[in-house]
A and B are shown apart, each in its own frame.
Chain A
Amino acid sequence: MKRIDLRRVALGLAAPLLAIVVAFVVTSLILLIAGDPVGAVWAQLIDVPLPRQVVAIINAATVYYLSAIAVAIGFRMNLFNIGVDGQYRVAAFAAAVFAGQAWLPGPLNIAVSLLVAMAAGGLWAGIAGILKVTRGVSEVISTIMLNTIATFLVSFLLSKAALRVEGSNAVNTRPIPESSRVPGISVDGIIATPNLIYGFIVLAVVVGLAYWFVLGKTRFGFDLRTTGRSETAAVASGVKVKRMVLTSMVISGAAAGLVGMPLLFGQDYTYGDTFQSGLGFAGIAIALLGRNNAVGIVFAALLWAYLDAQGNGLQINAGVSDRLVLVIQGVIVLSVVIAYELVRRAGVRMEQRRVASQLAAARTPSPETEGAAA
């Protein structure tokens, strides 16, 4: 038993390592073909980040983590929630408008705003869920449509709810009052920088723990994973598949609703047309990279944010466009998914061989079992 586990760990590690090696080779090749300095690029990318960059990496990773968890909830259910992008923007807008009104005092305002965001994200995802269970519409295509609809809807509502500031073109919602902002965490004691880490890193930790616990340790999570793996098996064990699809879509959307919260309460304090976009698509890539695993996604999000931060210096230090980072990220994701597939197949083959040899050892070896195992 123990030997198999070791082998499994080795296989599990083989995939990401293989992917990183492939990404390294492919990117170097691209640089060579384009005539860019290969050495200088890698020197910049592998350089130890400055303390303030470390803070920026952790902050960006926090947001990425939430987005990837939202995607991963869908993935575990075999649902492709491509719509995290739209869900988090609708939710961030709703929460910003609510929190900006300051109907409730201080922390209570934050708590209720989080609920508003989750409700908005869940509702938006719920549209795709309802379309899937009642009309059989693929969630891939409906969430893509809903992303664009969200863009138009939010920009329309923003133009209605916006606070006009004299002498500025920026369109923003009413800022969140001072008392309802989430203070940053100082890391001055560990690494010398005045920059603060989002207080809502706690939110990411809580969401990560909840994800791990609910999916891994509860009956609901078991049902959800079963439905994702095999719908027929789920039906046979009494799972109401349609309700499951809708529920997981809504939960995924509610988690997506939280994506913008660290930015909203820890940095921008308002929702405007400059609010960070494209987080949902990064979340898909990070969830794939992290294998939908609560811990794996931490590393994936950190890697993503690390590449982002290191890429900023590329233009100055190596004379290469920072867009190169997007290429590297794309290559990593693609090689990771291919590597996982190859490793999975290798694992299946090894398992088959092991079972075959055990069977052969248990019985008298005959050509029939040999043939069946192969």
Chain B
Amino acid sequence: MSDQGLVITTGLEAPPPPRRPIHRARWFWFAVIGGAIVVLSTVRVITGAEDIDSSGALTAAIALAMPIGLAGLGGLWSERAGVVNIGLEGMMILGTWGGAFFAYYYGPWVGILGAILLGIVGGAVHALATVIFGVDHIVSGVAINLLGAGAGAYLAVRTFSSLPGGGPTQSPPLPQLPFISIPWLSDWLGQIEETGWWLVSDIAGVLRALTTNLNVLSIIAVLLLILSWWILWHTPFGLRLRSCGEAPHAAETLGVNVIRYKFMAVLISGGLAGLAGGFLVLVASNLYREGQVAGRGYIGLAAMIFGNWRTGGLAGGAALFGYTDAIQLRGGGDVVRAYLLPIATFLIAWGVWILVRRRQGKPVVGVVTLILGILSAVWFLGVTRVSNEFTGMTPYVATLLVLAFASQRLRPPAADGQVYRKGEST
């Protein structure tokens, strides 16, 4: 970086070496999380936007992040095997019906299995179309979304209309899965959070959200995330599965049954998406309602891309979406306004830095950054709360920005989305 001025162009240099993966110290992410809490609590104290990290908002965020994370995990399994799964939305819708139907008749635990089963059915259709028949993945995914929405709605009318408390677009209230909290710890942390001390009460809020009223399914979802990470990156099965997404023909020459691996990956993907739908009916809203999924399948896909096709990144993306969703649902216009403060501070500081130390970039970039920072500051000072629509828009705009600024660093599986046919290797 610093010897940029010394580069002499001869036209004879070897092409630049491929960017090495960045190896960060183990404490890096802990430092990031710690830093984030410090910033949050400072902003909270300055602006008085208590909901910025209250345990209530964080509990809501966890519940909202789970279905997105599960859907993203579904996307991860299938894309790691090289099949783009835009049909997550349709599979989730199937999962909502499956979860509600089986939970109503056989209890919530069977409901979980029902959601997974219906998701797998959706996954099987996608696998049949893309892996066996070689249809374009996105085309098939769009069709699955149509089919899933139609089939879910049709089945709901068929099964819930005649039930007491149910209707054509809504199921009766469903039996609930148990919530888990650690009783005395939760109260104690609640007391600390009430005090409103800088940093201390924020950490208490975060811990309280993690120990109070956690649904069993949330815990299962986190375990599934860890399990997926372990299987995909630490077992021979996972290695073979990922090889199908990176270089299917090479995998084929090594004796991997690519078709079977891809098929299985898409089935697992469907099952996870179905479970994401099941989470919506069994935990988030306690009943089936038409239109409940509301694009969460797409958001899951976005969270996965946001997370660079890795489990950890995916979890971060899902958390971001869940958090902004929670803020919006709690009417947190003041929270989004509060965020303008650190954003403005950061942009102004960064802009000044670029202008002072010219090496970091062109002066134009510095000026633009500075102007954006000042605009954010003016926005922060000019309003008392940001309109609800803009709060809702935030995660989507954030995803677009991340894609725009980080897409060069994103690395999808090399053969992602390509149609594979056996024995065509060149």
Contacts and interface: CB of A to CB of B under 8 A. Distances in A.
Interface of A: 30, 34, 36, 80, 82, 131, 135-138, 140-142, 144-146, 148-149, 152-153, 155-156, 159, 281, 284-285, 288, 321, 323-331, 333-334, 337-338, 341-342, 345
Highest count of chain B CB atoms <10 Å: which of A141, A156, A328, A329:
A141
B129 A281 contact: no
B222 interface: no
A36 B161 CA distance: 14
Interface string B382-422: 00000101101100110110011101100000000000000
B114 to A, nearest CB: 16
Interface string B317-340: 000000000000000000000000
Contacts of A284: 142
Interface stretch (B29-37, B132-140, B205-213, B229-237): B132-140
Interface of B is mostly: helix
B86 interface: yes
A36 B138 CA distance: 32
Nearest to B305: A141
Contacts of A333: 142-143, 146-147
30 contacts: A30-B154, A82-B142, A131-B400, A131-B403, A131-B404, A135-B403, A135-B407, A137-B400, A137-B407, A140-B86, A145-B399, A145-B403, A148-B295, A148-B298, A152-B389, A152-B396, A156-B389, A159-B389, A281-B145, A321-B153, A323-B154, A324-B150, A326-B154, A329-B150, A334-B144, A334-B147, A337-B129, A337-B143, A338-B135, A342-B133
A334 B125 contact: yes
A192 B153 CA distance: 35
Interface of B: 86, 125, 129, 133-136, 138-140, 142-151, 153-158, 168, 295, 298, 301-302, 305, 387, 389-390, 392-393, 396-397, 399-400, 403-405, 407-408
B403 A285 contact: no
Nearest to B146: A330
B154 A337 contact: no
B146 A281 contact: yes
Nearest to A36: B158
Nearest to A331: B147
A325 B399 CA distance: 35
Contacts of A36: 158
B138 A136 contact: no
A327 B154 contact: yes
Contacts of B144: 330, 334
Contacts of B157: 321, 323
Nearest to B408: A136
Given A137-B407, A141-B301, A148-B295, A34 B146 contact: no
Contacts of A156: 387, 389-390
Contacts of A288: 139, 142-143
Nearest to B298: A144
Contact of B400 (A145, A334, A342): A145
Nearest to B161: A321
Contacts of B129: 334, 337-338
Nearest to A285: B146
